[in-house]
Every structure is written in structure tokens, then in C-alpha cells.
Amino acid sequence: MFPVEAFQRTIEKFVQIAAGIELPFHLTGGSISSAYGEPRLTQDIDIVVSPTVAKQRVDELIEQLLISDFWFTEAVVRKVIRENDLFKLLDKSECLKLDVYPRELIPGELGRSQSLELFDGIFLPVVSRIDAALSKLIWIDKGSQRSRRDFRGIFRNCDITQQDFIRTHALNMGLIELLNEVLLESDEIR
């Protein structure tokens, strides 16, 4: 288990790079599921960045990464940004991994980011609660078992209006049956 301070230092390194090249981003994944639902262990940090800005500023991003503490493969970063896939950064001093997604799983999610105090006095952009729930539902549909409990925790902490919004979007995405199935599951370990 990594200490909270290690996560903070790694995130701050990425925030500095993103701010330096004006790359919009927000945090997502397990760490934010913990903030919105139930705390759980996570070994990495998931970040969504603007695909448009990443493409426009890929050279600047590479330059900043080259002088950072992050280990990466330049050719992979360039290819992934072109293809809107996923690239990984490893913080060499903290040994923490960042999964960087130059794409929005939920269209428009970066525009709906929330500011959340993740560390004492440090507010960072994070995926909205609704988009976090919907993205977990998409990951469940792709086979993620861990996302099932994450989804239930997030959904339970939504107000009724948010839950209705999630249900409506799940219906439009063809995932309403999956949503209902996951909500009926137990959180108890068998």
C-alpha cells in the first residue's frame, strides 16, 4: 500500500505538467470511486485528458515528460494520443503508475468536472459523480468485476435526482438491465 503522500506527490507532478501546457484533465477511476462511494485499495491513478488539446500539444507534453520524474515511451504516448487510447506513466521516485486516457468515456465529461479536496487544502478536478457512475457501468459491461462494487457505492451516495439521471442514461446506452442486475448484488464477500 502506498502512503497518501506518495499519491499526492505523483498527482502534483502531473498537475504541474498539465498546467504548464494548459491541458484540461480530471482524475477518475478507483481513487475517485473511493471518494464518491466506498474506500478501497488502488495501485494507480486514472486521469482523463482532453483528446483535442493532447493532440494539439503532444510535442509540449513530451518535452515536459522528458524533464519529469515520469518514465514513459515517447512513441507509445504519440501513438496513443493519435488513437485516443491509453498510455501509462510511471513515477520513478514514488513507483506509482498513472493511466492517462486522452479520451472521454462519457462524452462531455471534462466539461462537467467537479473540484474536490483530495488532500488537505488541495482541490483538484475530478470526474462528476454521475459520470463516475456511468463510466463504472461501461467498465462493468466490458467485464470489470471490481467496478460492480464501485458502481453500487457511488450510486447509493447519489441523491434521487442523480440516480434518475443515471438510470435514464443507462437506458439510453442499453445498459439498464445491467444497472438493475448490479444493484441487486450483495456487497458481502462470499
Report pLDDT digits (tens) over 118-127.
888 999 999 9
Find out whether 61 and 102 touch, Cβ atoms under 8 Å.
no
Residues 6+ apart with CB under 8 A from 105: 48, 135, 138
Report pLDDT digits (tens) over 75-123.
999 999 999 999 999 999 999 999 999 999 999 999 999 999 988 899 9
CATH number of 4-127: 3.30.460
User: Mean pLDDT over residues 34-54, rounded?
Assistant: 87
User: Mean pLDDT over residues 186-190, rounded?
Assistant: 71
Written as nine digits, the cell of 18 is: 498539465
Going by pLDDT thresholds of 50, 70 and 90, the confidence category of residue 43 is: confident
Going by pLDDT thresholds of 50, 70 and 90, the confidence category of residue 190 is: low
Q: Is the pLDDT of residue 153 over 70?
A: yes
Phi, psi of 156 (to 5 degrees): -60, -30
Q: Give the pLDDT of residue 1.
A: 46
Residues 6+ apart with CB under 8 A from 145: none
Cβ-defined contacts of 73-80 (< 8 Å, 24+): none
Q: Is the pLDDT of residue 150 over 60?
A: yes
Q: Is the pLDDT of residue 143 over 70?
A: yes
Find out whether 157 and 151 touch, Cβ atoms under 8 Å.
no
Residue-range domain boundaries for the chain: 4-127, 130-184
Going by pLDDT thresholds of 50, 70 and 90, the confidence category of residue 189 is: low
Q: Give the pLDDT of residue 59.
A: 98
